[in-house]
Amino acid sequence: MDLTGKTVLVVGSGISGVAATELLKKKNVNVVLFDGNKELDLTALREKHPVFADVKIILGELTAEDRSGLDLVVLSPGVPTDLPMVEDLKKDGIPIWGEIELACHFAKGRIVAITGTNGKTTTTALCGEIMANYYRDVKVVGNIGIPYTSVAADTTDETVTVAEISSFQLETIHTFHPAVSAILNITPDHLNRHHTMECYIKTKERIAENQTEDEVCVLNYEDEVLRAFGETLHTNVLYFSSSQKLDRGLYLDGEDIYYADGENTTKVINVNELNILGMHNYENVMAATGIALSLGVPMDKIVEVLKRFQAVEHRIEYVTEKRGVKFYNDSKGTNPDAAIKGICAMNRPTLLIGGGYDKQSEYDEWIESFGGKVKLLVLIGQTREKIAACARAHGFENIVLCDTFEEAIDTCYRNAVSGDAVLLSPACASWGMFKNYEERGRIFKEYVRALKED
């Protein structure tokens, strides 16, 4: 579709909407902005984002008259595709894209696309550093915090774009076509948006639907859903495994990671040479290595980065030590499975801060993962009563409910002794108490660093 001179409706005035509008205007496309918040201050919005200065903006409700004359709709990732407004647009026959589809329509070069319930950000950041250690023009974009649309116009045929892709973004792809895709794992998450686990799985698997026989999809062999999915693909599949040797793929054997190409086996690295903790991070390392090898990066260039790579902010991030107590920020542990990985990475008695926005998750497996390691569970937010009831049902009674985030941190510090760890790993989203998990993590770090040691 040639969009020059067309009229495109951008839905959402946040960071994705801003970037989409900027890209479209650069490409001489007429933009109309819609936001469901009818109380939005348009003057303030236009002052903050000059790109909206000469854009028609519709607030609150999109009428049939508003829909007439539209050639395309671009949804921000946070906009559910089953809203009545979106259904009306579909009935009108108007194509609906997301920001990823819009970006790849204009972008050049090769795309690496990484999804999964957990580990996306770490793997994307690591993969981006590896690519930049070999290729000259590398962009790291997507759910990691930089809209793909914000850099698409600056790409060339030589560009390698490493993109963290969420299930929300995969709902609205059509021709999106990565040279290498990866699905790290699939566990229950965002069921308030996708409604069923089957729908969530199918959405994640869309990342590979446009790949050709010559391209590669990297999958976790230990995830039964993904192992079965790999058997259905016509593209090349490269597995990684944390528990068994593979004839072709990457695997962990003891403390060493190996790569087997079907004929030869090469040691990649010993996990003690890494700066990131936990089995889940060894899986992230294997995935990133497989992606990089699939895109032609030499092994020595990969290993250089593996040895220096540090933990991503908010993902089991070491903060500081006070009175012999170590503090870790795992604010990105926004679902039970991610939080389990946070617990598993701890190597000392742990006081755990959990709770937050309710995404309709179940917490049984998270509680069961405590395994004697968690000595105190401090709960906050909308889910605190639900989690407390679940913990008691599993025989865990050492629970404190707090009204504020600061009270939770103080409670942990007061009850911790030298040799303990305090871990923020909420197993829940941050909404309701914080704008996002990044804000939650930043506040945690600032507050902890200011704690007095006397």
Tell me the per-residue pLDDT of 211-240, one tens digit each, with 9 for 90 and over. 999 999 999 999 998 999 999 999 999 999
142's CB contacts (< 8 A; 6+ apart) are 100, 113, 124, 148, 163, 164, 165, 166, 169
Count other Cβ atoms within 10 Å, centred on residue 191: 16
What are the tokens at 98?
């997301």
Query: Is residue 314 pLDDT above 90, yes or no?
Result: no
Q: How far apart are CA 81 and CA 67, in angstroms?
A: 16
Burial class from Cβ neighbours inside 10 Å (0-12, 13-18, 19+) for residue 71 reads: middle
Q: How far apart are CA 196 and CA 194, in angstroms?
A: 6
What mean pLDDT do residues 53-74 have?
93
Angle at 194 between CA 188 and CA 196, to 5 degrees: 60
What is the tens place of the pLDDT at every residue in 154-206? 999 999 999 999 888 888 889 999 999 999 988 755 445 445 777 778 888 88
Edge-to-edge strands of the sheet including 110-115? Answer: 138-142, 160-164, 110-115, 180-183, 216-220, 236-241, 248-253, 256-261, 265-270
pLDDT value of position 194: 46
φ/ψ (deg, to 5) at 351: -100, 120
pLDDT value of position 195: 55
Q: How far apart are CA 119 and CA 357, in angstroms?
A: 20
41's CB contacts (< 8 A; 6+ apart) are none
Q: What is the chain's mean pLDDT, rounded?
A: 92
Q: How far apart are CA 88 and CA 9, in angstroms?
A: 14
**CA dihedral sign, ordered 313, 316, 194, 198:** positive
What are the tokens at 165?
């892709």
Q: How far apart are CA 351 and CA 412, in angstroms?
A: 6
pLDDT band at 49 (very low <50, low <70, confident <90, very high): very high
User: Coil, helix or strand for 340?
Assistant: helix
User: Coil, helix or strand for 204?
Assistant: helix
443's CB contacts (< 8 A; 6+ apart) are 405, 434
What is the tens place of the pLDDT at every residue in 240-287? 999 999 999 999 999 999 999 999 999 999 999 998 878 889 999 999
185's CB contacts (< 8 A; 6+ apart) are 116, 117, 118, 119, 220, 223, 226, 283, 337
User: Coil, helix or strand for 277?
Assistant: coil
What are the tokens at 18?
């801003």
Count other Cβ atoms within 10 Å, centred on residue 53: 9
What are the tokens at 66?
């508003």
Q: How far apart are CA 79 and CA 61, in angstroms?
A: 14
For β-strands 110-115 and 138-142, DSSP reports them as unpaired
Burial class from Cβ neighbours inside 10 Å (0-12, 13-18, 19+) for residue 437 reads: buried
What are the tokens at 398?
């050492």
Contact present, 168 and 78 (Cβ < 8 Å)? yes
Contact present, 356 and 385 (Cβ < 8 Å)? no
Query: Is residue 360 pLDDT above 60, yes or no?
Result: yes
What is the tens place of the pLDDT at every residue in 74-111? 998 778 878 888 899 989 999 999 989 999 999 999 99
Query: Is residue 361 pLDDT above 70, yes or no?
Result: yes
Q: How far apart are CA 32 and CA 42, in angstroms?
A: 14
Closest CA relative to residue 102, chosen from 71, 125, 136 = 71
Q: How far apart are CA 415 and CA 350, in angstroms?
A: 11
What mean pLDDT do residues 299-325 have?
91
Contact present, 342 and 316 (Cβ < 8 Å)? yes
pLDDT value of position 347: 82
DSSP string over 142-163: ETTTB-GGGTGGG--TT-EEEE
Edge-to-edge strands of the sheet including 350-354? Answer: 317-322, 325-329, 421-424, 350-354, 374-379, 399-401
Query: Is residue 450 pLDDT above 90, yes or no?
Result: yes
Count other Cβ atoms within 10 Å, centred on residue 187: 18
Q: How far apart are CA 416 and CA 429, in angstroms?
A: 25
Closest CA relative to residue 191, chosen from 181, 199, 202 = 199
pLDDT value of position 140: 96
What is the tens place of the pLDDT at every residue in 67-80? 998 999 999 877 88
